[in-house]
Structure formats: structure tokens, C-alpha cells
């Protein structure tokens, strides 16, 4: 587990942040083929890929910022905005949809007060949608930080959300 000092270091507000981005590019590679790995490593380090980080990657690799933005916004694993502490991925595929997914989705968005792609004001949850998570037999399903929760209803949803502070 990271201590407070290292967490602060992995923040774009830290004075060394751009140096860390530079270091990641240096260690990962400067070619177009390395770009996804560079972006992934920056996202892993800072939690997301900031606009300043994209400009720095562009300077170090000579890849245009628009090309970097295109790649970053294409992949969900490369967030360009800061996610909440917990990421909910709601299964919106048909098998879940027909066993209560629609009602669950309504309850979820009401309880969180956000729509897919948004983060709660307290920074606790980011809501994303996804296709089948491979556990249709316990639908409707969502995952939180990659933990699967199945057989969900509007009634038992608050109990599940409460586990994530």
C-alpha cells in the first residue's frame, strides 16, 4: 500500500509530476507502437491522463496531441478524466436487461445521482456501462472495482454500495 508521500507524488499537482511523465516515456518507449503502453503507465501512475501529460508525451515522442487524444479517448482503460475512488461497471447486455437490469439501472442512477460517464460529487463513484460480464446466470449484474455483484435489485443495491466508502 502506498504511503501519503508517494500518493502525493502520484498527483498532477506535485512539482515533479511532469518529470514522472517524462520518466515513464523514457522507460516505456517513444515510438507510436509504445503509445498505448505509455498512456497505460501514466494512467496507472496518476489515476488518469491529464491534458498536460498528453502535451508532455507529445513533446517526448513527437506524436501529435490530437493523435494521442484519439488513442486515449478510444480505450476505456485509458481515462482522460479523474475517476472516483470506486468504478462501477453496469452490465447493459440483454440477458441482464430482461431479468431486472432496467429497473436496477434506474435505481442505481437515482441513488448515485449520476449518469454513465459521470462521477459523484463526493468523488466516491464513477459509473460506466459495459457489455456482458460473463456471469449472466446471476443477472442483473454490475462490478465495482472488478468485484462482481449479482442478483441485484433496487432493494439490495444500497447494501452493496455501502461496502465501498
Q: What is the largest CA-CA distance in the chain?
A: 53
Peptide bond into 140 cis (omega under 30): yes
141 binds ligand FES (CB under 6 A): yes
Nearest residue to 114 via CA among 79, 86, 146: 86
111 near ligand FES, rule: CB under 6 A:
no
Of the candidates 113, 51, 110, which has an alpha carbon nearest to the alpha carbon of residue 82? 51
Distance in Å, CB of 101 to ligand FES, minimum:
7
Q: Which of 96, 114, 127, 161 binds ligand FES (CB under 6 A)?
A: 96
119: phi then psi, degrees, rounded to nearest 5: -120, 140
The CB-of-81 to ligand FES minimum distance in angstroms stands at 26
Using the rule CB under 6 A, give the single segment among 15-23, 42-50, 59-67, 132-140 that binds ligand FES. 132-140
Q: Is 82 in the site for ligand FES (CB under 6 A)?
A: no
- 114 or 141: whose CB is closer to ligand FES? 141
What is the C-alpha to C-alpha distance for residues 22 and 9, in angstroms, rounded to an integer? 14
Q: Which residues bind ligand FES (CB under 6 A)?
A: 91, 93, 95-96, 132-136, 139, 141
Amino acid at each position: 500500500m502506498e504511503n501519503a508521500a508517494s500518493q502525493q507524488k502520484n498527483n498532477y499537482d506535485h512539482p515533479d509530476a511532469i518529470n514522472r511523465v517524462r520518466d515513464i516515456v523514457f522507460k516505456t518507449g517513444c515510438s507510436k507502437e509504445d503509445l498505448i503502453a505509455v498512456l497505460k503507465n501514466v494512467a496507472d501512475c496518476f489515476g488518469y491522463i491529464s491534458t498536460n501529460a498528453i502535451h508532455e508525451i507529445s513533446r517526448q515522442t513527437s506524436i501529435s496531441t490530437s493523435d494521442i487524444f484519439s488513442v486515449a479517448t478510444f480505450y476505456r482503460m485509458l481515462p482522460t478524466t479523474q475517476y472516483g475512488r470506486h468504478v462501477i461497471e453496469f452490465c447493459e447486455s440483454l440477458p441482464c436487461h430482461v431479468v431486472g437490469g432496467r429497473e436496477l439501472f434506474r435505481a442505481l442512477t437515482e441513488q448515485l445521482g449520476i449518469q454513465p460517464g459521470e462521477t459523484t460529487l463526493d468523488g466516491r463513484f464513477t459509473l460506466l456501462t459495459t457489455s456482458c460480464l460473463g456471469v449472466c446466470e446471476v443477472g442483473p449484474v454490475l462490478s465495482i472495482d472488478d468485484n462482481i455483484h449479482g442478483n441485484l435489485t433496487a432493494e439490495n443495491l444500497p447494501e452493496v454500495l455501502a461496502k465501498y466508502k
